[in-house]
Structure 1
Amino acid sequence: MSDIDFPTYLARQLQRYPRIVLAGARVPVSLLGEGAPESAGIDRDGAAMVDIVVEAGVVTRVMASGTGVSTETGDPVVELEGRHVWPLLVDAHAHLDKAHILGRAPESGGTHPGARAATTADRLAHWTRDDILRRMEFGLATADAHGVAAIRTHLDSHEGQAETTWEAFSEMRSRWRDRITLQAVGLVPIDAYGTAHGARLADIVAEHGGLMGGVTRASGGTHGAALEDIDLLLDRLFTLASERGLDIDLHVDEAASADALPHVARATIRHGYEGRVTCGHCCSLALLPEDVLSERIALIADAGLSIITLPAVNMYLQGREAGLTPRWRGVAPVKELSAAGIRVATAGDNCRDPFYAYGDHDMLDTWRQSVRILQLDHPYADAAAYAGPWPAAIMGIEHGAIRPGRPADLMVLEAWTLDQVIARPHSDRTILRKGVLANRAVPSYRGVGG
């Protein structure tokens, strides 16, 4: 079998046999839901050599490679020859409603205030139901082609916009339910919860089965500016969420100097919401003195907060000043957080909009960038989990890991080591959804404009 013919060969074998063994797969142990099988060989990158049995689109067994299951049962075998095999990945923080407006939105200058102003102008001018549906469809088709299993998207939910956007999202969630699991979060500046719109938004979110959300800054303001009434606003948000049984996902401290996170943690404890609150960004943690950071991490752990870092976008926005090279990375200290038992993940965030001019809804690419930016290597340890089981756990879904009983949603990479996974974009990856070849071309930009 030629390497060039591998996807076609694999597709034919999967179609021909209802039960098949994918032999000689190399899977990072952190992506194996039940850990490495006994006696499985582990390479120096922390990846196990396993055989994966797929039957009727479901993974039924994962065993140490070469244990003879095909000899015992006579099952047909596709020899993967040590290629990396990963589950389809999970993007736990995205903005599908903003995506792909870059070309038509006003120039942002690449700063957070500029991005906010440019997005607002575009929203007021263009965000009809049809416009949102068209751009979301493009984003999801792109994510599908790259092998994304699930996305949690934040939706701008300002007064006058929320109903339109949430109805469009609900339609897209139904349309894509067999391929990508979708969740949504209502996103408004936190001072909106001090108005009548806060309660109305909570009802909209509950109606569509979403999460309560917000950003810990005032309307028109920036992260870092002190909010004297932040505790009252958080209490209102948590009360609205609790009355409707909704979890919470917030944008927090997306700046070099900001201090809303302790308020969020204490509100979480105050309202008995431990384990039900996610905080994205948390960039200012990176610049705290070590003793203060240790205290902050202990508080986060007590509150059971989950933390999502968005390294590509935060490095694009943070520290941008005309004529100056940025001096810091703008990412959360995920190693320290993880060591304290706090759930962490990396995610894609924005895509071709004023908050981030680039991106392609590709979680494998996001993960590759994250490893380099966050230095999740030497050793790799659990690095792969940042884009698989850990964001899946934050979302409360059964994705992001290979284990018996789960659909055979897999990607096969032309890579034999983790440095090879990181070094290339892997446009030649082979995607399986429910055990069926699902290689699809990314959609042309002609169809989205912007």
Structure 2
Amino acid sequence: MPLPTIPDGPVQLDNLRVPAACLGAGQGLVETTLTLADGQIVDAVEGAARIDMGGAIAFPTFVDMHTHLDKGHIWPRNPNPDGSFEGALGAVRCDTAAHWSAEDVRARMEFSLRCAYAHGTRAIRTHLDSHAPQDAISWGVFPEVRAAWAGKIDLQAVCLVACDYALTDEFATTADLVAGADGVLGMVTYPGDNLQAQLDTFFAAAEARGLAADFHVDETMDPTVNTLRDIAQTVIDRGFDQPVVVGHLCSLSVMDETEALHTLDVVARGGLHVVSLPMCNMYLQDRHAARTPRNRGITLVHEMTARGIPVSFASDNTRDPFYAYGDMDMLEVMREATRIGHLDHSVVDWTHAYLQNPAAACGFAAPSLRPGAPADLVICNARSWTELFARPQSDRIVIRGGQQIDRTLPDYAELDHLMETA
């Protein structure tokens, strides 16, 4: 049965199913009524229009905590030549040098944000490629885009540089740009003799500026690579007291089990947040021409949650050389993560991984469906988890400020003028 149209004005939505955690306690889905008035969820309003929602599942709007808005949608002009990680690096380098003006970055970021908003996302953290001179361009654009989207999508940005950049003179300038934009300090870690010096310099820069940290870590299927342990131990040794996020962690999936689990114990002691990016990792990892992939790269999410490590899932790349697909749709992320990571048949309430955990990791407002929370909802034409994950929910309802929004997605043709290749 199609979902009903939600009228403007006070409305009482009966017969909804929502995550119990969003009502303050419990796990799984529970039946409830939500009353919306004046842009908020309220206890009750006399004269509110009553609508039977037929058991439809509703969520608070989502948090997408690991994205690359600056790379989005460059695939048509610079595709990955072979689908490999190395191919992605080369294609992005070429595209950045040829095209990444302020106007180009802004237009593609806006396109992705329009998609995310239509799908029901309220907060996004994006990584921005920040090697000079791109740092000045992208960090000049970002505050303007953030201001333009205020009230629709809350935005945070993280600088993305290689770890060897931390030991250059330019890194301090980049860190100052990040601090000036209320951003997050980030980098990609690689094993090497200078890693500890790079980490110490990085954390010293973050401490001096009061910045949180966010790392791309061990995005490889090499079982000998374990910079995660170095990051976690450095956090412990320094007593670093700002939130630390680590993403990808693919090598854990092929590492010796004893070493992998010992590493997770250190991560738990360090209080790190983990974000898993299974769609992008499955696209890039263990890719060889004319050979079926054996190892898929998703990190050890079950073992992490067993140790109390907060795990989130996010979109990562969108139609760029690192991932040819995606649409900034957290319901797609939820569906694919469930299938890829065998999150079903679990005692863990994995809805935290798309709502509470990413909000806490990034410092966004905690998601809630209790009275006083914003009337920001995603309502799906599904009454159970199997119905939810069986279909793409393209007919979902998104409510912002108590009003049903127009979910029309932008046409890719709008970007055609940017896709001319040399």
Please, what TM-score do these two structures have when normalized by structure 1? 0.89
Matched, 1:27 2:18: yes
Q: Determine if contact 1:274/1:304 at 8 Å carries over to the other structure.
A: no
2-structure distance, mates of 1:403, 1:388: 14
1:147-184 residue CA offsets vs partner (Å, 9 max, x unmatched):
11111000000111101001111111000011001100
How far apart are 1:380 and its partner, in Å?
6.8
Q: Determine if contact 2:211/2:242 at 8 Å carries over to the other structure.
A: no
Q: Determine if contact 2:4/2:53 at 8 Å carries over to the other structure.
A: no
Q: Determine if contact 1:274/1:305 at 8 Å carries over to the other structure.
A: no
Matched, 1:140 2:122: no
Distance change >3 Å, CA 33–CA 123, structure 1 → 2: farther
Q: What is the one-letter code of the residue matched to 1:201?
A: T
Q: Determine if contact 2:3/2:381 at 8 Å carries over to the other structure.
A: no
How far apart are 1:196 and its partner, in Å?
0.6
Partner of 1:228: 193
**3-state SS of paired residue (2:75):** coil
How far apart are 1:100 and its partner, in Å?
0.3
1-structure distance, mates of 2:187, 2:269: 22
Partner of 1:318: 285
Moved more, 407-416 or 382-391: 382-391
Segments of 4+ moved more than 6 angstroms: none
Partner of 1:242: 207
1:300-359 residue CA offsets vs partner (Å, 9 max, x unmatched):
011111110000000000000111111112011111101111111001000000000000
2-structure distance, mates of 1:399, 1:122: 37
Distance change >3 Å, CA 107–CA 92, structure 1 → 2: closer
2-structure distance, mates of 1:75, 1:359: 38
Matched, 1:93 2:72: no
Partner of 1:56: 38
State how 1:271-290 maps to structure 2 within 5 Å.
271-274=238-241, 276-290=243-257
2-structure distance, mates of 1:334, 1:254: 15
Matched, 1:205 2:152: no
Q: Determine if contact 1:90/1:399 at 8 Å carries over to the other structure.
A: no
1:403-444 residue CA offsets vs partner (Å, 9 max, x unmatched):
332201101111011111111111100110011111320000
1-structure distance, mates of 2:121, 2:217: 25
Question: Which of the residues 350, 355, 359 maps onto 1:388?
Answer: 355
State how 1:150-165 maps to structure 2 within 5 Å.
150-165=123-138
Matched, 1:6 2:4: yes
How far apart are 1:242 and its partner, in Å?
0.4
Q: What is the one-letter code of the residue matched to 1:234?
A: L
Matched, 1:196 2:173: no
1:231-251 residue CA offsets vs partner (Å, 9 max, x unmatched):
000000000010000000000
2-structure distance, mates of 1:179, 1:233: 37
**3-state SS of paired residue (1:372):** helix
2-structure distance, mates of 1:241, 1:266: 16
2-structure distance, mates of 1:390, 1:95: 20
Percentage of pairs with the same residue: 39
Give the alignment's Cα RMSD to 1 decimal.
1.6
1:128-163 residue CA offsets vs partner (Å, 9 max, x unmatched):
000001100100001111111111000000111101
Q: Determine if contact 1:432/1:439 at 8 Å carries over to the other structure.
A: no
How far apart are 1:33 and its partner, in Å?
4.6
How far apart are 1:81 and its partner, in Å?
1.8
Q: What is the one-letter code of the residue matched to 2:314?
A: A
2-structure distance, mates of 1:96, 1:206: 19
Q: Determine if contact 1:150/1:399 at 8 Å carries over to the other structure.
A: no
Distance change >3 Å, CA 107–CA 396, structure 1 → 2: closer
1-structure distance, mates of 2:368, 2:332: 18
Partner of 1:176: 149
State how 1:420-435 maps to structure 2 within 5 Å.
420-435=387-402
**3-state SS of paired residue (1:448):** helix
2-structure distance, mates of 1:442, 1:399: 27
**3-state SS of paired residue (1:6):** coil
Partner of 1:364: 331
How far apart are 1:377 and its partner, in Å?
0.2
State how 1:297-308 maps to structure 2 within 5 Å.
297-308=264-275
Q: Determine if contact 1:108/1:117 at 8 Å carries over to the other structure.
A: no
Q: Determine if contact 2:61/2:378 at 8 Å carries over to the other structure.
A: yes
Q: What is the one-letter code of the residue matched to 1:52?
A: L
Matched, 1:265 2:265: no
Question: Which of the residues 167, 178, 184 maps onto 2:140?
Answer: 167
Distance change >3 Å, CA 5–CA 280, structure 1 → 2: closer
Moved more, 255-264 or 380-389: 380-389
Q: Determine if contact 1:96/1:135 at 8 Å carries over to the other structure.
A: yes
Distance change >3 Å, CA 425–CA 106, structure 1 → 2: closer
Q: What is the one-letter code of the residue matched to 2:198?
A: L
- The alignment of Structure 1 onto Structure 2 pairs a total of residues equal to 415
Matched, 1:127 2:127: no
2-structure distance, mates of 1:79, 1:391: 31
Partner of 2:373: 406
Structure 1: 5+ residue runs without aligned partners? Answer: 37-41, 62-68, 218-225
2-structure distance, mates of 1:267, 1:277: 11
Q: Determine if contact 1:24/1:81 at 8 Å carries over to the other structure.
A: yes
